[in-house]
Amino acid sequence: MTTICNTLAAVRGRIATACAAAGRNPSEVRLLAVSKTFDADAVREALEAGQTAFGENYLQEAAGKIDALAGQGAEWHCIGPIQSNKTRLAAEKFDWVQSVDRLKIAERLSAQRPEHLPALNVCLQVNIDGGASKSGVAPEGAAALAEAVAALPRLRLRGLMTIPEPAADYAAQLTVHRRARELFDALCARGLALDTLSMGMSADVESAIAAGSTMVRVGSAIFGARPKPDA
Ligand SMILES: *Cc1c(COP(=O)(O)O)cnc(C)c1O
């Protein structure tokens, strides 16, 4: 029988194999389990199997799960697009927001982060392959946005997040992921203290790790196919 415990172990195995192939230590790559569309019971099962970091796209859906599982050690990452009138829920409920792509959103998150919580961890979402309809700051704009976000008092800028278009093969995936790594390194060279490059999903964990990902976001390979196609 396929259980979340088994699929998690299989994904951890893929990460370990990819790290070995790249000459990297597996402790350098975190696994974010993307639980969007799956219920709190599925998340609880993953928690019991030792998984602590969870990614959610839809704020309202996530808020219910976050409340249901309060106090059980889960760390919640918002990875979906945020409208500026929805920032409060993100600032109040999440530990990380990886989908910051403009200053207005960052300013609102900083202003709305409750005093009793630590600074909100954020990543800038970068439109690394230039998809016309996609969210994400253009690579050329990333440095200026990063410096402005890093200066906000209630945010802690951790790094970059990318969601490239599905690529035809491993080599094509690698080319795009390497571009993200170069941008990440360039920002670090400007003096920004970044530690997170969030890239790689169920279909491209291996190429992302080869290119230097420090966090892979895996949904369907852990929880199964989602009921409806995701936007
Ligand atoms: C849904 C989603 C994932 C997980 O995708 P899978 O292909 O199911 O692994 C990762 N990142 C983001 C931003 C997502 O929206």
User: 38 is written with which tokens?
Assistant: 């799956």
Q: How far is the CA of 83 from the centre of ligand 1 (A)?
A: 19
Distance CA(24)–CA(190), nearest Å, equals 24
Going by alpha carbons, the residue nearest to atom 4 of ligand 1 is: 219
User: 155 is written with which tokens?
Assistant: 């945010």
Pocket test for ligand 1, best of 79, 124, 223 (most atoms within 8 A of CB): 79
Axis-axis angle for helices 40-48, 4-22 (nearest 10): 60
CA torsion through residues 178, 206, 199, 27, sign: negative
Question: Distances in Å between the alpha carbon of 22 and those of 8, 38, 97, 136, 185?
Answer: 21, 32, 28, 28, 18
> Considering the entire predicted model, what is its pTM?
0.96
Helix, strand, or coil (residue 218): strand
**The predicted structure's pLDDT at residue 110:** 98
Domain 4-222 CATH (choose: 3.20.20.10, 1.20.120.1200, 3.40.50.1820, 3.40.1390.10): 3.20.20.10
**The predicted structure's pLDDT at residue 230:** 53
Q: What is the largest CA-CA distance in the chain?
A: 50
Mean pLDDT for each consecutive 10-residue tract of the chain (231 residues)?
92 98 98 98 98 97 98 98 96 98 98 98 97 88 98 98 94 98 98 98 98 98 83 47
Q: How far is the CA of 208 from the centre of ligand 1 (A)?
A: 13
**The predicted structure's pLDDT at residue 231:** 47
Domain boundaries, the chain: 4-222
Q: Which residues are near ligand 1 (CB < 6 Å)?
A: 34, 36, 57, 79, 163, 201-203, 217-221, 230
